[in-house]
Amino acid sequence: MTTEDYRFAQPHFLGIAGLNRPEAESLLDLADDYVEQSRRTQKNSDKLRGLTQINLFFEPSTRTQSSFEIAGKRLGMDVINMALGTSSVAKGETLIDTAVTLNAMHPDLLVVRHSASGAAELLSQKVDCAVVNAGDGQHEHPTQALLDALTIRRALGSLDGLRIAICGDITHSRVARSNVALLNLLAAEVRLCGPPTLLPSDADRWGADVFHNMDEAVVGCDVVMVLRLQSERMDQAAIPSTREYFKFYGLDRNRLAKANPGALVMHPGPMNRGVEIDSDVADDPAISLVTKQVEMGVAVRMAVLDMLATTRMEAAK
């Protein structure tokens, strides 16, 4: 892709909501290029040299934070990870104060993860740089949805008309919300499945068919995406026991056999093995896309960072 093809109308990347299909597809096309760059021995370019990216993660994260760090470095940026446990946030500084302080250091990109829905958008109103949402509460996790779409597109060619089941703890999942929005944009057919205690009552209005029986939900599906039980977000137990949960909602080979032949398995990680997914399917490279998702994560984040930074630099000319 050339810079002329960049058609990103937004100054920030806060959610899939507000993105149109050409924007989503051009991000995926650009990410395809970055998959190739990341597979080379010399992985770094100087595309965004001289720019500064700050990662501000108020929630623990392994893959998303390292993925954004690697993505920024592969584009030649200086990347700073704020260690929030030792920062002034631990002394009671608010989200806004932290952002205003960091803003004074003139970063170009701020990547934010926070437990409150809407935190990234709030920050974007207080700083001069581009803000990327790396997960805000239960609201959105847009780069996860993009990396999932890229993974599916590369495995199956196109998302148009595919049937995809998203199963598990939907209520607490920003991954589910962003995925439903993007999969709809890309013309896939989406199903949501989980126990009634873990499926919001308005889920049928998200643009997906709702199921409570997983054996029925996977029938005719090309992809089964399993989500983690997010116990840290539950104020009371939503399931009787993890053993019983696995019996009804765990993905194992028997259950997967009810989906289309060759159906593929996804999970955003971290996985609770034996709770929502059996290791037997999670670790089988013939059917599991889990490590591909991680690889695609770096490429998609490079695309998002590049698109935002380039659009900003063009506008400032």
Q: Which residues sit at the interface with ligand NCD, rule CB under 6 A?
A: 63-64, 135, 141, 144, 174-175, 228, 230, 268-269
Task: Tell the smallest beta-carbon distance from residue 237 to ligand NCD (Å).
Answer: 18
Closer to ligand NCD at the Cβ: 230 or 288? 230
Task: Tell the smallest beta-carbon distance from residue 183 to ligand NCD (Å).
Answer: 16
Task: Tell the smallest beta-carbon distance from residue 132 to ligand NCD (Å).
Answer: 13
Closer to ligand NCD at the Cβ: 140 or 278? 140
Task: Tell the smallest beta-carbon distance from residue 92 to ligand NCD (Å).
Answer: 25
Closer to ligand NCD at the Cβ: 143 or 311? 143
Closer to ligand NCD at the Cβ: 78 or 283? 283
Exposed/middle/buried for residue 41 (C-beta within 10 Å: 0-12, 13-18, 19+):
exposed
Helix axes 142-156, 174-185, angle to 10 degrees: 50
Closer to ligand NCD at the Cβ: 19 or 175? 175
Closer to ligand NCD at the Cβ: 287 or 294? 294
Task: Tell the smallest beta-carbon distance from residue 83 to ligand NCD (Å).
Answer: 19
> Residue of minimal CB distance from ligand NCD?
228
Task: Tell the smallest beta-carbon distance from residue 270 to ligand NCD (Å).
Answer: 6
Closer to ligand NCD at the Cβ: 108 or 276? 276
Task: Tell the smallest beta-carbon distance from residue 262 to ligand NCD (Å).
Answer: 25
On whether the CB atoms of residues 217 and 165 are closer than 8 A, the answer is yes
